[in-house]
Structure 1
Amino acid sequence: MIHSLKMVLSVLSNQLDAAVAEVSENNIAPLVTVRQTTELMRLVMGAIVQLKRGSDRPDENRRVLENLLATLRQMASDERMAMDGRNAAVATMQYRTTASTIAQIEAIAGARGEVRQ
């Protein structure tokens, strides 16, 4: 499980590098992506720390993963609601980044049978 989350973290790191490369004075989008990606990386790293401190039992690993996904899904839900508001463009960028991270984790964990879909 730790290896799987490290792969997600690596993808997020690459997304962060790409967003930083796009930063310019005239475009706020990369800054939103950078902020969102670093928050997602913080959450994934927190899950990795929990897994390293744990006993590496399947039920415990599943609980950590499900808690991470629940947090990410709540973030995505909040971002979807914000898409109807004044900052719709920012919320849309945040939502896309969060939703892609959820999909990555579900794909990796689902392939390994570590999360209930």
Structure 2
Amino acid sequence: MIHQLKLVLSVLANQLSAAVDEVNENNVAPLVTMRQITELMRLVMGAIFQLKRGSDKPDENRRVLENLLASLRQIAGDERVAMDGRNAAVATLQYRTTASTIAQIEAIAGARTGSGVR
């Protein structure tokens, strides 16, 4: 599971690099994306550390993954609500980044366990 989460972390790092390349004085969107990606990377790294400290038992690994996905889904839910407010454009950028990360983690969880973690 650690290897799969490291792959997700690698994808997020590539997204961060692409966002950095897009930064210019007329566009705030890459900065919003960069902030969101770093928050998501922090959460994924936290799950990796939990897995490294754990006993590598399937139930424990599943619990760590479920907690990570629950945190990400809460963030995505908050962003969906914010999409109806004043900062809809910012929330939309954040939601897209979070939703793609959730999809990546669900894909690796399904490949690892034979079924998606919901």
| TM norm structure 2 | 0.97
Q: Which whole-Å deviations, capped at 9, do the CAs of 1:68-104 have from their partners, x for residues lacking one? A: 0000000000000000000000000000000000000
Find the counterpart in structure 1 of residue 76 from structure 2.
Answer: 76
Is 1:18 the counterpart of 2:18 in the alignment? yes
Cα distance in 2 for partners of 1:109, 1:16 equals: 23
- How many Å separate the matches in 2 of 1:97 and 1:116? 19
1:62 aligns with 2:62: yes
CA distance in 1, matches of 2:3, 2:74: 24
Letter of the structure 2 residue corresponding to residue 74 of structure 1: Q
SS of 1:112's partner is: helix
CA-based RMSD of the aligned residues comes to 0.9
State the one-letter code of the partner of 1:77: G
Counterpart-to-counterpart distance in 2, 1:83 and 1:72: 16
Cα distance between partner residues in 1 of 2:17 and 2:108? 22
Amino acid at match of 1:47: A
- Structure 2 unmatched runs, 5+: none
Matched residue, 1:27: 27
Aligned residues: 117
Q: Does structure 1 residue 92 correspond to structure 2 residue 53?
A: no
Identity between Structure 1 and Structure 2 (%): 82
